[in-house]
Amino acid sequence: MRRFPVKIIFIASVSLFSIVQAPFICSGQDWGVSPIRLDFTTKVTSGILTVSNGTPDKINYQIKAFEWAQDGEGKDKYTETADIIFFPKMMVVEPGDKKIIRAGMKVPRADREKSYRLFIEEIPKPQKAEGAHITFTIRFGVPIFFKPVKEEFKGVIEKISMDKGILTVPIKNTGNSHFVIQTITVKGIGADKETVFSRDLPGWYLLNGVTRQYTTEIPKELCGKIVKLEIDAKTDQFTVKDSLDVQRAMCLQ
């Protein structure tokens, strides 16, 4: 059997779930970005990001801007855009040093929020051909939100359904700005009004006009004991609640 040298490049795409303007630090590589998001308005149309290198080696970065959208399932989609002016597009940060990235908008403000991400990606170092090499690189996408003239934070839980023990909870952003779904709590209530089942589902950003389906499986041994499912979705702006009366047929496989 012939052996061939193997080179593996692992790209870790990091999306930090946070609404706090705190620095992003990658402990494995020890480089960071601060702040972790930018909010632009009519008065604030530009900002600065600081990239720091705490490693013993210099790091090469490339920077690209993407428009951020979400599809019918709430999954993130990115399209390279020229809406954002930023500089530099590539840079080298020496060990223990910091560099800044300047970014600004070049499109007019609208009635609905515009969402983008500025991706800062580590360029992997060249590796020798002999032997096996595993290269870890980090890509961090800084959210950039261009606020509408007047923000409206609204959302609804659309028609809840359950089939074969699988609960589906559609949540729609009916406002003109994004919000962050922090947790979705599902409680199964029994005939005596006791809590038979409880589960927290993790959330994510939900951009304006987007509906995302959240699903979870109700254990078979518990599903038949539940007469009502109560849904409590907590966002960073508001809380929405709804419920579903459970029929036995919804639990049958």
Dist CA 200 CA 43 (whole Å): 39
Cβ pair 17, 178 in contact under 8 A? no
Q: Which two tokens stand for residue 131?
A: 């032997």
Each residue's pLDDT tens digit, 83-136: 999 999 999 999 999 999 999 999 888 899 999 999 999 988 776 656 555 566
Q: Which two tokens stand for residue 2?
A: 């012939």
Asked whether residue 13 carries a pLDDT value surpassing 90, the answer given is no
Q: Which two tokens stand for residue 220?
A: 């078979």
Cβ pair 35, 51 in contact under 8 A? no
Cβ pair 202, 183 in contact under 8 A? yes
Asked whether residue 40 carries a pLDDT value surpassing 80, the answer given is yes
Pick the more confident residue, 64 or 14.
64
Each residue's pLDDT tens digit, 195-245: 999 999 999 999 999 999 999 999 999 999 999 999 999 999 999 999 999
From-to residues of CATH 2.60.40.10 in the chain: 10-146, 155-248
Q: Which residue has the tokens 């170092």?
A: 125
Decide if domain 155-248 falls under CATH 3.90.650.10.
no
Question: Which pLDDT belongs to residue 109?
Answer: 86
**CATH architecture group of domain 10-146:** Sandwich (2.60)
Question: Which pLDDT belongs to residue 27?
Answer: 44
Q: Which residue has the tokens 């518990």?
A: 222
